[in-house]
Structures are given as C-alpha cells and as structure tokens.
Amino acid sequence: MKGIRTIIPYIPGEQPNYPTMIKLNTNENPYPPSPKIEAILKSFNSEQLKRYSSTDNLSLKKSLAFKHGVTPEYFLIGNGSDEVLAFCFMAFFNSSEPILFPDITYGFYKVWADLFHIPFQEIPLNNAYQINIDDYIQPNGGIVIANPNAPTSLIKPLSEIEELIRQNPDVMVIIDEAYIDFGGESALSLLESYPNLVIIRTLSKSRSLAGLRVGYAIGQPKYIRIAESIKSSFNPYSVDSLAETLATAAIEDEKYYTETIEKICKTRDWFSQSIAHLGFQSFTSKTNFILTTHSKLSMEDLYHYLEKQDIFVRYFPKIERLRNYLRISIGSQEEMNEVYQKLAHYVESNRTKA
C-alpha cells in the first residue's frame, strides 16, 4: 500500500508489577510524592472535570516562576518532558543542517528526529564516555544534550555548557535537565544572556511523579511563545486539570523533595562505594542511577541473575559500548541493601567457580 509510515519507536524499560520486586530499571523515584498530593487527591472536587483544563497552565507557571526566579512567560508545560521535547524539536529544529546529539544519550532524541524528519548526526562520546564540547563546534541545525547525560550519569560543568551555547549562537541549544536535582549545576543562570538556550525539566524523577506526566521547558519568552504555538496546533489541553493541580502542589513543597533527594544521593554514594569493594566500577553519578561494570563478570549474565531474584535493572544490548554495563536506578536504602547482598553473593559464587 502507498503512504504507510515505517518508524522505529522508543523502547522504554519494562514495567513489571508485583509486590516483591525491586524495580530499578526506569529511574523512578523510590519515595512517594509529597504528602500534599495525597491530601489534594482526597479532597479533589470531581465536578471540576466537566470543564476543559486550562490551555495556559498559569497556576503551575506561577509556582514555577516563583521557584526559578523568572516570570511565567518563561515556561511551556507539557504532558511529560517527552512531549515538551517533541514541541521544542518541532519549534526549533527546522534547518536543513543536521541537529547534533551524543551517540549514547536519551533514546527519545533520535526517535523524535526520525518522527519529524529532522536530519541528525550522532556525535560519539569520547573514550571516557564524556561529551566533548569541541565536537559540537561545527555547522548544525541545533543541539540537544542531556546534562547530566543518561545513561552515563556524567555531568558537564556549567562553564563547558556555556561554551557550547556561546559557540552556537545561530541555533537553539536544548539542555535536558531531567536529573539536575541530584547534584548538578543547572544552566538556569545562563538564560538571560543566551536567547538560544532552552532548558527541559521533568517532575518524573526528583518529584516522584512519573505517572502524572508533567514536564516543562524554560526559555526566553520570545521562543517559548513559538513552542506554545506548536502545542496549540497539536493538543492545547495536553496537561489535564488534575495533573496541573497536583504538579503545582509538588512544586510548592520544596522542603519535602529536598529531603528525599538528599536520601537518594546518600544511598547512591553509599551503594557505588560498597559495590566498588566487590570490584564494580561505576561512573561518578550526579543522577538517581549509576552505570556500572565489572572486569571479571558478564553484565548480561548478571542482569539475568538479578531478574530471577525479582530485581529489575537496565541492560542495553543494542548499544555496543554499553554491552558490559548495567544501569541501576537508586531505590530506597532498604532496597539497595538487598541488591548489595545479592551482588556480594553473586561475586562470591563466581569467584569460587573460577
């Protein structure tokens, strides 16, 4: 038949669901969202749902404006940051030159580029699995970088991010800060000086709201307006009224989230040090996950072993340079104690076998 589209979709981590499992494969937050969320859900007036949700999401934008120290016109809200990224790709990547992103990064960038017929070039990470900013100083139609990068967990210092933006003044540079709350330095302070910077944030990771689907972009109003017009051309009501209400409460409960983020970072640093004693080498993580390897073990075998123990982590068999790595999301301290015990047992039994 004529006119039928072929596309390779984004493949997310599996979503197994049974009570005994330890789920560490999609970088979700192990802690529940702010208690304010539950309070609102209990008292939410369902009558409100007979009306359409707001198209400007002003109540959420006002909370975000207060949190980030800018005005509401700096924000675009969407149904998860995946959708916000899609709107930004459509709004800002319309050149005939290829957009640039790392060869090892968040899998959706390539999927969106394909879907929207945007030419792209994947720039290899260097030998240390780092983004090399100099590689992005070449003619291009735009740039998208996750900082910290996923699944490497590595962060670029702000000075290098600024250099990247400064050297590419004629194109939009999208910095995806999905994990920035776990210890990195945000590019927010560059926003006033660089109109070609757009920052993407999500409530899915640090705000424990992956299932709510809320993300946002921050950029200069002149360009945010263009992304808004893309949203209005596609799905003006993409953020439902319950989601907007709950997201606003989450943004306003900074104290609760500061505490859960601290717990996760503490567990992360403890876990990577502990498994280092078992011979695992992990990158220095500024995220809520670690990327780890072991010189004497097959990570593919370990992945299957963990799966049999109802511990789900992420293995990327299709990415050549990650064939012997596992990405492990950081769960609660209790969960990570248990994972550590399993890993210690596995390492020990493989030693005696050898």
CB of 106 to ligand PLP, least distance (A): 4
Question: Quick one: 272 exposed, middle or buried, by C-beta within 10 A (0-12, 13-18, 19+)?
Answer: buried
Q: How far is it, in rounded angstroms, from Cα 223 to Cα 341?
A: 50
Does residue 151 have a cis peptide bond before it, meaning omega lies within 30 degrees of 0?
Answer: yes
Site string for ligand PLP, 93-132 (x = CB under 6 A): -------------x--------------------------
Please write down the HEC assignment for all residues of the chain.
Answer: CCCCCCCCCCCCCCCCCCCCCEECCCCCCCCCCCHHHHHHHHHCCHHHHHCCCCCCCHHHHHHHHHHHCCCHHHEEEECHHHHHHHHHHHHHCCCCCCEEEECCCCCHHHHHHHHCCCCEEEECCCCCCCCCHHHHCCCCCCEEEECCCCCCCCCCCHHHHHHHHHCCCCCCEEEECCCHHHCCCCHHHHCCCCCCEEEEEECCCCCCCCCCCCEEEEECHHHHHHHHHHHHHHCCCCCCHHHHHHHHHHHHCHHHHHHHHHHHHHHHHHHHHHHHCCCEEECCCCCCEEEEEECCCCHHHHHHHHHHCCEECECCCCCHHHCCCEEEECCCHHHHHHHHHHHHHHHHHHHHHC
210 binds ligand PLP per the rule CB under 6 A: yes
CB of 209 to ligand PLP, least distance (A): 9
329 binds ligand PLP per the rule CB under 6 A: no
Q: How far is it, in rounded angstroms, from Cα 289 to Cα 238?
A: 29
CB of 219 to ligand PLP, least distance (A): 16
Residue with tokens 């064939």: 323
CB of 153 to ligand PLP, least distance (A): 11
CB of 85 to ligand PLP, least distance (A): 7
Q: Could you tell me how many residues of this chain bind ligand PLP (CB under 6 A)?
A: 13
CB of 259 to ligand PLP, least distance (A): 22
Tell me which stretch binds ligand PLP (CB under 6 A): 78-86, 95-103, 162-170, 261-269: 78-86
Tokens for 224, please give them. Answer: 């945010």
CB of 93 to ligand PLP, least distance (A): 16
228 binds ligand PLP per the rule CB under 6 A: no
Site string for ligand PLP, 27-46 (x = CB under 6 A): x-------------------
C-alpha 304: how far from its chain's center? 25
Tokens for 61, please give them. Answer: 């934008």
Three-point CA angle 185, 189, 192, nearest 5°: 155
Q: How far is it, in rounded angstroms, from Cα 328 to Cα 172?
A: 32
Tell me which stretch binds ligand PLP (CB under 6 A): 66-74, 80-88, 310-318, 340-348: 80-88
Tell me which stretch binds ligand PLP (CB under 6 A): 75-83, 187-195, 297-305, 313-321: 75-83
Pick between residue 176 and residue 181 the one whose CB is nearest to ligand PLP.
Answer: 176
Pick between residue 176 and residue 228 the one whose CB is nearest to ligand PLP.
Answer: 176
Pick between residue 137 and residue 210 the one whose CB is nearest to ligand PLP.
Answer: 210
Tell me which stretch binds ligand PLP (CB under 6 A): 79-87, 110-118, 253-261, 342-350: 79-87
Pick between residue 215 and residue 331 the one whose CB is nearest to ligand PLP.
Answer: 215
CB of 309 to ligand PLP, least distance (A): 25
Site string for ligand PLP, 150-169 (x = CB under 6 A): x-------------------
Tell me which stretch binds ligand PLP (CB under 6 A): 9-17, 74-82, 189-197, 246-254: 74-82
Site string for ligand PLP, 168-207 (x = CB under 6 A): --------x-x-----------------------x-x---
81 binds ligand PLP per the rule CB under 6 A: yes
Q: Which residues bind ligand PLP (CB under 6 A)?
A: 27, 80-82, 106, 146, 150, 176, 178, 202, 204, 210, 215
